[in-house]
């Protein structure tokens, strides 16, 4: 536990990738397989469900620290993180524990799940007594399911590969799919290349970069393939050996959630892997993301939902055909084979993502303008000669895949409520609620957390503190004075919201210090945007 | 039972005021007579008629305020102002810091200014003073603020420096030029390598050395030409140096920030430095509680910091506690150690 806590501290202490990589390499080259397996499990972003109810944890921490409830809450508000608050409030730290991470997880953490409350309390107290302050913090993070540290999965993969002298790509592939944190799985991960079974395992997704440079830098338009950027869920359909697996980009296996797509497994030849977008789809056009949302997180799919929210896989790449890995081949070749395959299948739930044809950059610019009416987010540009890479890597000059999104919709709205942030932004007011005018009254319609620089957050934080009207727990109501331009990707009617609308991905574009609150936009303006957001009939 | 009519210290728009003695303590507007607890900018301002302060801090105070009419007294030495006995007692905050003891006809009040109770090699240790009423700060008045001992902390700083020196990169630590910087100098293992100071820090080092405080030898960055020296050095600079061109001369470096706020991960990450060292010249929560207990005061007044929290907790523990308005520091959780914030003194910079 001590070594893992120290790794956590080292990763947390530095913002430099090089420093993080060195700390990871050092840990993985000396850790036992079973410990390394668990470390990888947590660092790669897997979150075991919370094993201890927050209520029990809070009560126990209050008892152990002898702090009254209100003071515990004040402390939590200042720290912004429950695990850290508790680590700071508990009395005299213990000596720390050199017991291996795997033993801490398997013998001390996992048995907590579902344990009777009395036993839970005794086990937690014992763990706290033993651990030092850093160990307590990391342990609290693990048991609350809130373990996160600023490393990407790709970086962890690279560190493990470097520590073991393997190709990072091979390790990344072995990590996709069902993977168990055990010594044997970890050893398999580090086995020499070749001869592995990969029945349901997907390939790492190739990710696009947002296009920020001028189009001319990409060279002739003829070198590029353009298609719509869909607003759905990125998915990979793996058909091998008579079985079918549908993976999301978050590496979640969702085959059962989308039976229409799963049924393709019976039609497609074995040894086929496709990359595409899971979309709610009807009559040759996408339905709004909100419709797809009805299908997400729903285990029971009644006929009503299936009829209201039909889905399709809009395919845009072919990664494997007849069991052959096509990823090193140029995109245009993969695309040609994909077209033939989709045509041959002839299934309504398998749609080919159409080519967007523009003979000049200007033509593409004009087509992109119409994105919103089509219910798409903009254009994707893929170099015709590009191989299918892994993750978000820039290969060659100018990159290989670009996402070229349309500018967001925007409104000028008034800040009305603020709440403190968490983690790095703890104790700063960073979470804001915005309102627009309706008949002389401000109606809240969106919450936004992102888009401001650190310096701007400081500025807004100071404004909030100086203009607080009331405090309700962690939330403050604020004098209606500060206007910000909010951007969002889409807007939908919503009966659940007071404003009657729900916006998608709201974020702050800029502070409109020049604008008095009285000149902020109105609800009527938002309702007008509703229509611009309607997909074309 | 109300003591209001006999209150020996009152919050007024110009500062904390002692009516029978007709003097102010650390006033924030110009007054005729000021008793100064210590030389940090939000406590010691220009523009007052006469100053009274602890003699050990004279050089620092004069270095910061220039020509002032200053009367110095030794710790524990009493002077009488308009029939009120006033004496200064060590507050352990920075060199020359003092608690002000006010005795009027047997009623005793103590204004503690800023203080810490843990030992500090660069200033006289905090001394508990018994009082009927105690005026306390509350900068770190939350139980999540608990400092580890200086020895543990300086070992941590030294280890970081040693590691960087071995890797051939400088170790830049941002610390307030007055107090914190000298405490680091006195605490680290100076055998690891050369110590280089920013000009703002070196000015205070001089005042400390002139006052008899033992500090290891330090170099001014501008006087070191040899890059090899800089690459092994511990560099002590004020926080304002972070991200400034002044740092270019060091080539590759690791940086750290020394402050009590570094206790919290969020604050540490906001600072965007490689390391955060939890080092404060204010009392932590146990320190505040200890000082209040040892004063044996029944009435407690809480100034700058987590005022409502401290007041409520004290009331629940049976003290007659209340807030006392002051203009020391400001909002407490903005990552700046408010008592130290201004790094340079500009004439007429009083915050009004």
* Strand bridging mode B70-73 / B50-54: parallel
What SS3 state is found at B245?
helix
Closest A-chain CA to B268:
A424
| A406 class by beta-carbon count within 10 Å (0-12 exposed, 13-18 middle, 19+ buried) | middle
Whether A426 sits inside 8 A of B272 (CB atoms) is no
Q: Quick one: pLDDT at residue A209?
A: 86
Q: Please name which of A310, A382, A322 lies closest in space to residue A348, comparing C-alpha atoms.
A: A310
pLDDT at B37 over 70: yes
Q: What is the pLDDT of residue A112?
A: 92
Helices A54-65 and A82-89: angle between axes, nearest 10 degrees:
20
Interface test with A, best of B243, B264, B286 (most A CBs within 10 A): B264
**Do β-strands B107-111 and A409-420 pair in parallel, antiparallel, or remain unpaired?**
unpaired
**Which pLDDT band, with edges at 50, 70 and 90, does B341 fall under?**
very low
Is residue B20 a contact partner of residue B82, using CB atoms and an 8 Å limit?
yes
Q: Flag whether pLDDT at B352 surpasses 60.
A: no
Contact list, A458 vs chain B (CB under 8 Å): 334
The answer to whether residue B82 scores a pLDDT higher than 70 is yes
Tokens 């330090």 correspond to what residue? Answer: B218
CA–CA gap between residue A97 and residue A369 (Å, rounded): 60
A89 interfacial to chain B (CB closer than 8 Å): yes
Of A68, A78, A423, the CB nearest to B142: A78
* Closest residue, chain A, to B142 (C-alpha): A75
Could you tell me which of B63, B334, B343 has the C-alpha nearest to residue B175? B343
**For residue B109, what are its two tokens?**
């009040």
User: Using an 8 Å Cβ cutoff, are A76 and A220 in contact?
Assistant: no
Q: For residue B272, give how far its alpha carbon lies from the nearest alpha carbon of chain A (Å).
A: 7
B183: pLDDT strictly greater than 60: yes
Residue range B4-145+282-340, CATH number: 3.60.15.10
Please state which architecture CATH assigns to domain B150-277: 3-Layer(aba) Sandwich (3.40)
Calculate mean pLDDT across residues B284-295: 97
Angle between helices B199-210 and B180-187 (to 10 degrees): 70
Residue among B142, B274, B334 minimizing CB distance to A74: B142
Instruction: Find residues 465-484 of chain A whose CB sits inside 8 Å of chain B.
Output: 465
In this complex, how many residue pairs, one in chain A and one in chain B, have their CB atoms less than 8 Å apart?
A: 75
- Record: contact A427-B333, CB cut-off 8 A: yes
Helix A33-43 to helix A17-30 angle, to the nearest 10 degrees?
Answer: 150
Q: State the nearest Cα–Cα gap between B142 and chain A, in angstroms.
A: 6
CB-based contact, A111 to chain B, within 8 Å: no
Which ranges in A218-295 belong to alpha helices (H)? 259-262, 289-293
pLDDT bucket at B350, cuts 50 / 70 / 90: very low
Residue B290 tokens read as 């200890």
Under a CB-based contact definition with an 8 Å cutoff, are residues B233 and B172 in contact?
A: no
Q: Please give the span between the terminal C-alpha atoms of chain B, in angstroms, as a whole number.
A: 36
Distance CA B37, CA B136 (A): 12
d(CA B261, CA B142): 12
Provide the β-strand partners of residue A228: A379
Using the beta-carbon criterion (under 8 Å), do B264 and A425 form an inter-chain contact?
no
Q: Which residue of A has its CA nearest to B147?
A: A88
Sign of CA dihedral A2, A6, A12, A18: negative
Of A16, A74, A426, the CB nearest to B266: A426
Contacts of A15 in chain B (CB under 8 A): 272, 274
As a whole number of angstroms, the distance between CA A391 and CA A207 comes to 5
**Maximum distance among all Cα pairs of chain B, rounded to whole angstroms:** 69
Q: By three-state DSSP, how is residue B255 classified?
A: strand
Show the tokens assigned to A60: 């126990």
ipTM of the modeled complex? 0.88
CATH 3.40.50 maps onto chain B at: 150-277
Mutate to test the interface with B, among A428, A468, A476 (most CBs of B within 10 A): A428
What tokens does A91 get?
A: 């009395």
Please tell me the distance from the alpha carbon of residue A402 to that of residue A406, in angstroms, as a whole number: 13
Phi, psi of A109, rounded to the nearest 5 degrees: -85, -55
- Chain A nearest CA to B81, separation (Å): 39
**Are the Cβ atoms of A425 and B270 closer than 8 angstroms?**
yes
Q: Which residue of A has its CA nearest to B263?
A: A88
Q: How far is residue A28 from each of residues A135, A149, A473, B270, measured CA to CA in Å?
A: 19, 16, 43, 29
For A458, name the nearest residue in chain B, comparing CA atoms only: B334
C-alpha pair distances (Å), A72 with each of A79, A82, A391, A476: 10, 10, 42, 19
The H or E element that residue A462 is part of is helix A454-466
Torsions phi, psi for B25 (to 5 deg): -115, 125
* Neighbour-count burial for A484-521, b at 16+ CB within 10 Å, e otherwise: bbbbbbbbbeeeeeebbbbbbebbbbebbeebebeebb
- Are B84 and B21 contacting, i.e. CB atoms less than 8 angstroms apart? yes
Measure the CA–CA gap between A288 and A294, rounded to whole angstroms. 11
Domains of chain A: 2-143 (1.10.3260.10), 209-405 (3.30.470.30), 409-532 (2.40.50.140)
B241 contacts B248 by C-beta, under 8 angstroms:
no
Q: Is the dihedral of CA A18, A23, A26, A27 positive or negative?
A: negative
Pairing outcome for strands A429-438 and A441-448:
antiparallel
Residue with tokens 């993180």: A81
B→A interface, C-beta within 8 Å: 142-146, 263-270, 272, 274-276, 306, 309, 312-313, 316, 331, 333-334
Helical (H) or strand (E) element with B95:
none
Among the partner-chain residues B143, B275, B312, the one whose CB lies closest to the CB of A89 is: B143
Helix (H) or strand (E) holding A128: helix A117-130
- Strands (E) across A421-453 are located at 429-438, 441-448
pLDDT in tens, chain A (537 residues): 999 999 999 898 877 788 899 999 999 999 999 999 999 999 987 777 778 888 899 999 999 999 999 999 999 988 988 999 999 999 988 899 999 999 999 999 999 988 999 999 999 999 999 999 999 999 999 998 878 888 888 889 889 999 988 887 778 777 776 678 889 888 888 877 655 556 778 898 998 888 888 888 888 999 999 999 998 999 999 998 888 889 888 777 788 889 999 999 999 999 999 999 999 999 889 988 878 888 876 767 888 888 889 999 999 999 999 999 999 999 999 999 999 999 999 999 999 999 999 889 999 999 998 888 888 889 999 999 999 987 766 555 557 899 998 887 889 999 999 988 765 566 788 889 999 999 889 999 999 988 888 888 888 998 998 898 888 777 899 999 999 999 887 788 887 788 888 888 889 988 988 888 988 999 988 888 876 544 433
Q: Where exactly does CATH 3.60.15.10 map onto chain B?
A: 4-145+282-340
Tell me the angle at which helices A168-175 and A153-164 cross, rounded to the nearest 10 degrees. Answer: 120
Q: Which chain B residues touch A85 with a CB distance below 8 Å? A: 144
The residue whose two tokens read 């990979």 is: A236
Average pLDDT along chain B: 89
**Alpha-carbon separation of residue A52 from A89, A133, A143, A388 (angstroms):** 18, 19, 6, 42
Query: Average pLDDT of B69-96?
Result: 97
Minimal CA separation from B276 to chain A, in Å: 8
Which residue, among A72, A89, A427, would best test binding to B if mutated, counting the most B CBs under 10 Å from its CB?
A427
Pick B350 or A419 by higher pLDDT: A419
Residue of B nearest to A16 (CA): B274
The verdict on whether A394 is a catalytic residue reads no
CB B306 within 8 A of CB B332: yes
Cα separation, B148 vs B142, whole angstroms: 15
Q: How far is A452 from chain B (nearest CA, A)?
A: 14
Q: What mean pLDDT comes out for the span B97-117?
A: 96
For residue B266, which residues of chain A lie inside 8 Å, CB to CB? 79-81, 422-428
DSSP B42: T
d(CA A379, CA B180): 55
Position B5 scores a pLDDT of: 53
Name the residue among A15, A68, A425 with its Cβ closest to that of B272: A15
């Amino acid at each position: 536990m001590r070594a893992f806590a120290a790794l956590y501290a080292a990763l947390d202490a530095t913002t430099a990738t090089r420093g993080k990589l060195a700390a990871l390499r050092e840990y993985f080259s000396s850790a036992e397989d079973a410990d390394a397996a668990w470390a990888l499990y947590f660092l790669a972003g897997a979150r075991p469900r919370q094993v201890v109810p927050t209520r029990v944890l809070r009560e126990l921490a209050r008892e152990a620290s002898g702090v009254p409830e209100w003071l515990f809450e004040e402390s939590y508000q200042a720290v912004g993180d429950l695990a850290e608050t508790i680590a700071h409030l508990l009395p005299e730290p213990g000596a720390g524990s050199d017991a291996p991470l795997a033993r801490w997880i398997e013998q001390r953490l996992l048995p907590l799940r579902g344990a009777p409350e009395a036993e839970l309390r005794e086990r937690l107290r014992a763990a706290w007594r033993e651990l030092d302050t850093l160990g307590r913090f990391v342990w609290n993070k693990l048991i609350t399911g809130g373990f996160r540290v600023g490393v990407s999965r790709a970086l962890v993969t690279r560190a493990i590969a470097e520590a073991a002298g393997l190709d990072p790509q091979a390790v990344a592939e072995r990590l996709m799919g069902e993977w168990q944190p055990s010594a044997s799985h970890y050893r398999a991960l580090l086995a020499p290349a070749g001869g592995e079974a990969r029945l349901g395992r997907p390939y790492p997704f190739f990710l696009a970069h947002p296009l920020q440079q001028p189009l001319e830098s990409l060279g002739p338009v003829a070198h590029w393939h353009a298609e719509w950027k869909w607003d759905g869920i990125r998915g990979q359909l793996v058909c091998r050996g008579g079985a079918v697996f549908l993976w999301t980009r978050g590496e979640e296996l969702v085959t059962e959630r989308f039976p229409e797509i799963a049924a393709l497994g019976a039609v497609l030849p074995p040894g086929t892997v496709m990359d595409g977008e899971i979309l709610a789809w009807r009559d040759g056009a996408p339905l709004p993301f909100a419709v797809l949302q009805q299908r997400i997180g729903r285990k029971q799919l009644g006929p009503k939902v299936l009829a209201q929210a039909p889905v399709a896989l809009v395919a845009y790449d072919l990664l494997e055909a007849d069991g052959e890995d096509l990823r090193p081949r140029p995109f245009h070749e993969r695309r040609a084979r994909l077209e033939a395959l989709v045509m041959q299948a002839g299934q309504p739930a398998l749609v080919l993502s159409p080519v967007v044809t523009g003979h000049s950059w200007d033509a593409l610019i004009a087509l992109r303008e119409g994105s919103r009416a089509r219910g798409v987010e903009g254009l994707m540009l893929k170099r015709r000669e590009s191989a299918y890479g892994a993750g978000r890597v820039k290969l060659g000059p100018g990159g290989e895949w670009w996402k070229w999104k349309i500018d967001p919709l925007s409104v000028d709205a008034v800040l009305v409520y603020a709440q403190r942030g968490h983690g790095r932004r703890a104790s700063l007011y960073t979470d804001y609620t915005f309102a627009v005018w309706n008949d002389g009254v401000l109606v809240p319609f969106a919450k936004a957390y992102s888009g401001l620089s650190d310096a701007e957050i400081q500025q807004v934080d100071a404004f909030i503190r100086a203009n607080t009207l009331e405090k309700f727990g962690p939330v403050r109501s604020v004098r209606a004075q500060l206007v910000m331009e909010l951007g969002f990707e889409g807007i939908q009617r919503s009966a659940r919201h007071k404003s009657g609308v729900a916006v998608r991905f709201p974020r702050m574009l800029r502070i409109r210090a020049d604008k008095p609150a009285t000149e902020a936009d109105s609800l009527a303006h938002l309702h007008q945007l509703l229509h611009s957001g309607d997909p074309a009939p | 039972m109300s003591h209001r009519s006999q209150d020996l210290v009152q919050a007024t728009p110009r500062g904390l005021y002692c009516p029978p003695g007709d003097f102010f303590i650390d006033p924030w507007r110009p007054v005729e007579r000021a008793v100064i607890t210590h030389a940090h900018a939000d406590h010691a301002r220009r523009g007052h008629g006469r100053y009274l302060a602890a003699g050990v801090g004279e050089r620092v105070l004069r270095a910061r305020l220039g020509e002032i009419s200053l009367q110095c007294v030794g710790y524990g030495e009493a002077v009488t102002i308009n029939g009120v006995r006033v004496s200064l007692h060590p507050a352990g905050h920075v060199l020359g810091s003092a608690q002000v003891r006010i005795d009027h006809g047997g009623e005793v009040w103590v204004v503690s200014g800023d203080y810490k109770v843990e030992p500090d090699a660069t200033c006289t240790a905090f001394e508990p003073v018994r009082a009927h009423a105690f005026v306390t700060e509350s900068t770190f008045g939350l139980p999540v603020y608990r400092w580890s001992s200086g020895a543990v902390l300086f070992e941590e700083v030294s280890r970081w420096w040693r590691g960087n020196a071995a890797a051939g990169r400088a170790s830049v630590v941002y610390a307030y030029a007055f107090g914190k910087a000298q405490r680091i100098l006195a605490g680290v293992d100076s055998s690891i390598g050369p110590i280089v100071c920013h000009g703002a820090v070196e000015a205070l080092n001089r005042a400390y050395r002139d006052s008899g405080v033992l500090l290891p030898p330090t170099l001014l960055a501008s006087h070191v030409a040899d890059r090899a020296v800089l690459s092994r050095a511990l560099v002590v600079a004020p926080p304002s140096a972070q991200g400034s061109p002044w740092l270019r001369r060091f080539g590759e470096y690791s940086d750290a920030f020394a402050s009590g706020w570094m206790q919290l991960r969020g604050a540490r990450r906001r600072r965007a430095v490689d390391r955060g060292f939890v080092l404060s010249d204010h009392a932590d929560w146990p320190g505040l509680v200890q000082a209040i207990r040892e004063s044996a005061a029944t009435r407690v007044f809480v100034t700058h910091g987590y005022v409502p929290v401290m007041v409520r907790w004290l009331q629940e523990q049976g003290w007659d506690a209340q807030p006392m308005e002051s203009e020391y520091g400001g909002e407490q959780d903005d990552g700046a150690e408010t008592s130290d914030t201004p790094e340079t003194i500009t004439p007429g910079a009083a915050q009004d």
